[in-house]
Chain A
Amino acid sequence: MDWDQLELHPRIISAVRRCALSVRAVLCVSAPDLQRLSGLSRSDTQQLLTAAATACRRHAPLPALLSRGFQSSLRLSVGCPILDELLRGGLPAEGVTELSGESGAGKTQLALQVCLSVQYPTQYGGLDAGAVFISTEDSFPVRRLQQLIRGQSCLRSDVPPSLISSLNFSDRVYIEHAADLASLQECVSRRVPLLLARGLVRLVVVDSVAALFRSDFLASDWLERNRQLLTFSAALHHLSREYSTPVLCINQVTDVFSSSDSLVPSSSTGTPTVAPALGLAWANQVMVRLMMWRLQGTVSRGDQSSAPRRLQVVFAPHLARGGRGAGVWREGVRGLTETA
């Protein structure tokens, strides 16, 4: 943004040029300071500030009925009607969703499934684009992905088989490996925006955020860790907003020692008390927080059996706290009907 684009008297523009301030920087200087720096009169300074403020804002306050907010009711289906019902349609098209749980709870399973469901056209709950999967922990489970792709016709009985066979699922899942923080930042600030800008993908999955931030820092470095974490989350928010793309972050959990923790409601179900990792700094950055648990026992479906899981909404601005049972099958994650 340049000063010449603003509707201001040339005299004011030349004065502000002389103090070498950008349009955005002017707003961070108080009016008397600005007056002194530029040598302008008070009314000129006011004009200058108003013009700069007008240039910086995208639009005047709009009635909610007309705003872009109505588009943001777009949801990305997770590929199972029961879980979609819990999530009121799926993941919000704008915003960072976190899915945390112990190892083996089925987080990655659900994430892989969303990578496939995003490729369907919008009338089937997808976003008609591919997904980028940023893996920081393990090698990408490519065999499991192939298995899930073969199972799509079984999982998505609502979609015509001809459409499923016409989609080339594995070509539209882009996999990035980030082994350290620097390459993770590089990935979200350079490579992923490129994919998004070309319209190739419209889902970002990070599996997992915790791994690098938990391993790369000593306990005494928490300040630096928080700074890096905020930079990373700022990048994710930027991607999500700019390209109106859902971001799904998988997170690990940590044990909670103190019982009188006011952060999370203590679980009444008797499950061990665990909380998502990375603490408050990260939690403040998340819009929707989901958790997954692996429960005792087995559930069966046809000839398959699975350990029962539970997908729980911890918080979200638009969702009620609640949960659904689920099982992980050959074709993917499916919610269990509540009668069981």
Chain B
Amino acid sequence: MQISSCSLSPAVKSRLTAAGFHFLSELRGLSPSHICAETGVSQQEALQVLQAVRGGASGGGASVGGASGGGGASVGPPPSLTALQLLQEEQSQRSIFSFCSQLDATLGGGLPVGKTTEICGAPGTGKTQLCLQLVVDVQVPVCFGGLGGQVVVVDTEGSFLLQRVQDIAGAVVKHCSLLVEDDEQRVAMTTFSVETILSNIFLVRCHDYVELLAELHLLPDFLSEHPRVRLLVIDSVAFPFRLHFDELSQRTRLLNGLAQQLIAMATSHNVAVVITNQMTTRLRGGQSQLVPALGESWGHAPTIRLLLQWAGTQRLATIFKSPGHPGATVQYQITSDGFRDADQSEQPPSKRPRTHTVQSATGQRDSNQSSAGQRDSNQSAAGQRDSNQSAAGQRDSNQSAAGQRDSNQSAAGQRDSNQSAAGQRECS
């Protein structure tokens, strides 16, 4: 590691470079007094330098993480992995499904664990509803295709109403009880109830941004103590950060640190991080646009960005940032049971609606891809509709859920074959 990039005071750095040291490793094994004599820094500064040398030796990644607020600093550097290992790891990881099969399909099985996802939308589009649905869904027992995990919810708006969680939890429990086929599932259902769902949700209420920062500083420890936590929800990040900031540079700095902490938590504790963001109006060239709040640089923080919006009387969810999925728009609805597929009678629009996000270069290509992807999803939706027609009432949803699991399996199968291909190439 270069001296110029480590966290020492500029005065010490310039002394060190003046004395001919350019890499931290060159200082290893020197005594403090030796460094003092060589460079002319004080004894205390020399001790700091040596501390930096030890920190740097134990892993460059840790000190970089430390610079962002200490979120991942206590965790050792992850061992380097090959892409194949990462792929296998990702495949062994289940996703959190949303009960909206179209959204799950476009996300490749649901919300990925170990990544950060941002849900943006104007008020009333269903951000909180999707969060509440995920909070319940992540707890679905493993034998039903869920994760059987726990949840930490950081509520900054006061909109986490347990009355609504109970509604959604009740619907999910009922859904699962209708799916029971074998003994394992029967046993799982004995403990899967609304009460257990509520007891597995860890709730924190943060009233301002300092409390939020404090909570995020302490969360890694909490996650270590509760290894079953698979989902962290922050609803919303925007609310505390849009007040009390006269100086925007300070806000940007804090938000960048926060983003680093969230990413560190997502990867090191293997949780899905879901954050919600508000929308704001931006004036550009005399036209007003609706864009996610918190500024341009925050847009880099989440891995996946979902935009929820109204189009006439339809609710639409658009993926507009994701490294792994083509951009796509799906329709959804919010029923008394929670976040669901839209009624099949209404066709999703054939064109991706304007999302008002800046995607100048990739925009065109994206939209092509999305229309292709959408056609696929339409087909599958059509297939589903057929099966729905043959069955009736509650059984519909069972079948579609089963179908969904199948399609997941087939997707996994496909990925397996990819893997074997990769393996072969390795052998040759």
Contact = CB atoms under 8 A, between A and B. Distances in A.
Do the two chains belong together in a single complex?
yes
B160 interface: yes
A37 B66 CA distance: 16
Given A49-B70, A64-B165, A283 B214 contact: no
B83 to A, nearest CB: 32
Contacts of A284: 123, 238-239, 242, 278-279, 293
Contact of A64 (B122, B124, B128, B162): B162
A31 B159 contact: no
Interface stretch (B95-103, B194-202, B374-382): B194-202
A17 to B, nearest CB: 18
Interface in A1-56: 24, 27-28, 30-32, 35-36, 39, 41-42, 45-46, 49-50, 52-56
Contact of A30 (B44, B195, B206, B253): B253
A241 B199 contact: no
Contact of A317 (B129, B207, B279, B290): B129
A30 B73 CA distance: 12
A59 B207 CA distance: 12
Contact of B205 (A58, A70, A240): A58
Contacts of B293: 284
A230 to B, nearest CB: 5
Contacts of B214: 27, 52-57
B67 A32 contact: yes
A320 interface: yes
Contacts of A88: 163
Output the residue of A88, A240, A265, A314 with the most chain B CB within 10 A: A265
A48 to B, nearest CB: 10
Interface in A283-320: 283-284, 286-287, 289, 314-315, 317-318, 320
Given A60-B222, A287-B158, A65 B198 contact: yes
Given A32-B7, A61-B152, A317 B202 contact: no
A310 B41 CA distance: 77
B198 A31 contact: no
Contacts of B207: 238, 241
B412 interface: no
Interface stretch (B26-34, B309-317, B393-401, B420-428): B309-317
Contacts of B280: 280-281
A272 interface: no
B313 A279 contact: no
A153 B207 CA distance: 41
Contacts of B162: 64, 69-70, 72-73
A56 B211 contact: yes
B43 to A, nearest CB: 12
Contact of A63 (B47, B203, B213): B203
B104 interface: no
Interface string B343-364: 0000000000100000000000
B313 A265 contact: yes
Interface residues of B, number: 73
Interface string B299-341: 0000000000111110000000000000000000000100000
Interface string A64-100: 1101111011000000000000001000101100000
Contacts, number: 175
Interface string A177-214: 00000000000000000000000000000000000000
Contacts of A58: 205, 211
A266 interface: yes
Interface of B: 7, 9, 44, 47-48, 51, 55, 66-70, 73-74, 122-124, 128-129, 132, 152-153, 157-165, 167, 195, 198-207, 210-211, 213-215, 217-218, 222, 238-239, 242-244, 250, 253-254, 257, 278-281, 290, 293, 309-313, 336, 353
Interface of A: 24, 27-28, 30-32, 35-36, 39, 41-42, 45-46, 49-50, 52-65, 67-70, 72-73, 88, 92, 94-95, 230-231, 234, 237-238, 240-241, 260-266, 268, 279-281, 283-284, 286-287, 289, 314-315, 317-318, 320
11 contacts: A28-B250, A30-B68, A36-B7, A57-B204, A63-B199, A68-B205, A69-B160, A234-B243, A264-B124, A284-B239, A317-B128
Given A50-B218, A57-B211, A280-B278, 12 more contacts: A35-B7, A42-B51, A55-B214, A57-B204, A57-B206, A57-B214, A64-B162, A67-B203, A72-B161, A262-B309, A268-B313, A289-B123
